C-alpha cells in the first residue's frame, strides 16, 4: 500500500538517522496503522511508542534490540530478509561501538519523540537482559559460571527444539547444502574424532562438553574414555542422562567443573569445540597453557572456534550479543588464536575453515525455532525466543557476509610419535 499519513513518516526519518542512511531499507508500519518506506521492502512494525522511546534513550543497536526482544518491534515475513535489510546500512552488520548521532540528529530525534508522544523515562530493559559485571571481575571463575548459566541454563527442552536430536551446539559439517542437520552434525563429530586420531583405550578430555554429544560419539564409535567438563548444571544433568541411556557410564564421565580446575591429566587427546570464545583475549595464554599441561607428549588438541574476520576485533559491552546472548564472550581473529596456540608450545598440524557451514547450521536452527515457535515460547518466554531468533538469524548473515568465520585448528604437543605426513588420516 502507498505511504499513509500518520506516525510512520516521522518514524521513518528517525529510524534513518539511527541507521545512518538516507534511503530507508525497510517498509515501516507505525502503531497507528500508517506506513512509510519502499513498498517492496521487508515490513517492520513498531507496535508501541515505547519502541521509539527505547531508541531515543539508546540510539543504536541496543535500543533497537531491546525493542525487538520486548515485542515492540515486529519483523514480518522472512526474518532473514528483514535483518539483512537493516544490516545493509552497515550499522548492525557487526558488533562494536555504535556511531552516536550528531547534535543536529539528536535534536531531530528528540523533536520526533515530542511530536509522536514518545518521550518519557527510560524503559526498563527486558527481563532477558543481563548485567554480568555484578558477578565479579572479568573472567573470574564466578563470573564465567554466571555467563555460562545465562546462556545455557535456559532449559534443555528448549535447546532440543532448536538443535534437534543431535543436541550439538556448534557448527556442523555439510557434504552439500541439502545435507540434513543431523547428518551434518554426525559428520562434524566424526571429523573431530579422526583429526584427533582416536583409538580404543585412549583417554580424552572434552572441554565445554555441552550435552555430551561428542563424548558419546567418541566413546561409542572409537572406544575411548572421555571426561567432559561444563559449567552448566542443566547441560551436565542431560549429558549424564544420555550417557546412562547409552550404557556408557564406564567410559564417559561428565563433570560440572571449570577447565582451569582439571588436574587429573595426562590425556591422550583434547577437544575444545565452541568453548574458547568464552575464554576471552586476556586469559587465552592461561587457557593454552592449561590444555598443554593436561596433554601427553605427542597428544593432539582440536580447537574449534568462531573467529572475527573483519579487521580489529570490536569490543562493546553495551551491544546486543554481550547483553543478551554471550556475556563476556570475545571473538578473536584466526591469526590471534594460532599465535597463542603456537606460543604455548603446540605445533599446528592443520587449519580448516568452516564459515559457510556455520551459516547453513544457523539457518537450520532458525528453521527449527520457527517451526516450534509456540512450544519454544512456552518453555522459556516470548522475549527469550525472540533473543534466539535475532541472534541466530543475524549470525547467519554475518557468516554469509564473511564478517565472521569458524575454524578447526588441529595441534600436537611435541614429543611422542611424529604427526602424519598427509591429511589422509582424517579426510
- The DSSP secondary structure of 185-233, one letter per residue, reads HHHHHHHHHHHHT--TT-EEEEES-TTSHHHHHHHHHH--EEEEEES-H
Pairing mode of beta strands 43-46, 73-75? antiparallel
Per-residue pLDDT at 313: 61
Instruction: Please report the pLDDT score of residue 90 as a whole number.
Output: 56
Contacts of 348 (CB under 8 A, 6+ apart): 338, 341, 342, 409, 410, 411
Task: State the cell numbers at 45.
Answer: 512494525
The CATH number of the domain covering residues in 142-425: 3.40.50.150
Q: How many whole angstroms separate alpha carbon 192 and alpha carbon 169?
A: 15
Domain residue limits, the chain: 7-115, 142-425
Residue 311 CA from chain centroid, whole number: 19
What are the backbone dihedrals phi and psi of residue 274, each rounded to the nearest 5 degrees, phi first?
A: 70, 25
Q: List the chain residues with pLDDT less than 70.
A: 1-5, 89-99, 311-318
The CA distance from 26 to 31, in Å, is 16
Q: 302: which strand partners?
A: 271, 410
pLDDT at residue 1 in the model: 53
Q: How high is the pLDDT of residue 203? A: 98
What is the structure's pLDDT at 21?
A: 84
The pLDDT of residue 193 is: 98
**How far out from the chain centre does Cα 365 lie?**
12
pLDDT attached to residue 59: 85
Do 291 and 263 contact (CB within 8 A), yes or no? no
Helices (H) and strands (E) in the chain, counts: 16, 11
Closest C-alpha to 218, from 181, 238, 248, 241: 248
Buried b (16+ CB within 10 A) or exposed e, 381-399: bbbbbbbbbbbbbbbbbbb
The DSSP bridge partners found for residue 200 are none
Contact 300, 269 (CB under 8 A): yes
CB 369 within 8 A of CB 162: yes
pLDDT of residue 97: 47
pTM of structure: 0.93
Residues 6+ apart with CB under 8 A from 250: none
Amino acid at each position: 500500500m502507498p505511504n499513509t499519513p500518520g506516525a510512520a513518516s516521522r518514524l521513518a526519518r528517525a529510524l534513518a538517522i539511527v541507521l545512518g542512511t538516507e534511503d530507508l531499507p525497510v517498509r515501516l508500519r507505525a502503531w497507528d496503522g500508517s506506513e512509510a518506506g519502499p513498498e517492496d521492502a521487508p515490513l517492520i512494525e513498531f507496535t508501541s511508542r515505547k519502541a521509539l522511546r527505547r531508541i531515543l534513550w539508546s540510539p543504536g543497536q541496543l535500543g533497537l534490540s531491546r525493542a525487538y526482544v520486548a515485542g515492540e518491534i515486529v519483523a514480518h515475513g522472512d526474518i532473514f530478509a528483514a535483518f539483512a535489510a537493516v544490516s545493509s546500512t552497515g550499522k548492525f552488520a557487526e558488533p562494536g561501538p555504535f556511531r552516536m548521532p550528531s547534535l543536529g540528529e539528536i535534536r531531530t530525534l528528540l523533536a520526533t519523540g515530542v511530536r509522536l508522544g514518545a518521550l518519557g523515562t527510560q524503559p526498563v530493559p527486558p527481563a532477558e537482559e543481563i548485567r554480568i559485571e555484578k558477578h565479579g571481575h572479568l573472567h573470574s571463575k564466578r563470573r564465567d559460571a554466571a555467563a555460562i548459566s545465562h546462556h545455557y541454563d535456559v532449559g534443555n527442552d528448549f535447546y532440543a527444539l532448536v538443535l534437534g536430536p543431535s543436541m550439538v551446539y556448534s557448527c556442523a559439517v555439510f557434504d552439500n547444502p541439502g545435507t540434513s542437520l543431523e547428518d551434518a552434525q554426525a559428520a562434524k563429530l566424526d571429523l573431530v574424532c579422526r583429526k584427533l586420531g582416536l583409538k580404543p583405550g585412549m583417554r580424552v578430555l572434552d572441554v565445554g562438553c555441552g550435552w555430551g554429544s561428542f563424548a558419546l560419539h567418541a566413546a561409542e564409535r572409537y572406544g575411548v574414555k572421555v571426561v567432559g567438563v561444563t559449567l552448566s548444571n542443566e547441560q551436565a544433568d542431560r549429558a549424564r542422562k544420555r550417557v546412562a541411556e547409552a550404557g556408557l557410564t564406564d567410559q564417559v564421565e561428565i563433570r560440572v567443573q571449570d577447565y582451569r580446575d582439571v588436574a587429573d591429566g595426562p590425556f591422550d587427546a583434547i577437544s575444545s569445540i565452541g568453548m574458547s570464545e568464552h575464554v576471552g583475549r586476556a586469559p587465552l595464554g592461561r587457557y593454552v597453557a592449561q590444555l598443554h599441561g593436561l596433554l601427553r607428549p605427542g597428544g593432539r588438541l582440536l580447537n574449534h572456534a568462531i573467529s572475527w574476520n573483519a579487521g580489529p576485533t570490536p569490543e562493546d559491552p553495551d551491544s546486543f550479543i554481550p547483553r543478551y546472548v554471550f556475556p563476556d564472550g570475545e571473538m578473536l581473529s584466526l591469526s590471534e588464536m594460532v599465535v597463542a596456540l603456537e606460543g604455548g608450545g603446540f605445533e599446528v598440524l592443520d587449519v580448516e575453515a568452516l564459515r559457510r557451514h556455520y551459516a547453513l547450521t544457523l539457518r537450520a536452527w532458525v528453521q527449527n525455532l520457527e517451526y516450534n515457535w509456540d512450544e519454544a515460547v512456552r518453555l522459556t518466554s516470548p522475549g527469550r525466543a525472540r533473543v534466539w531468533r535475532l541472534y541466530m538469524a543475524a549470525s547467519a548473515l554475518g557468516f554469509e557476509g564473511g564478517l565472521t568465520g569458524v575454524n578447526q585448528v588441529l595441534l600436537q604437543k611435541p614429543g611422542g610419535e611424529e604427526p602424519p605426513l598427509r591429511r589422509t588420516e582424517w579426510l
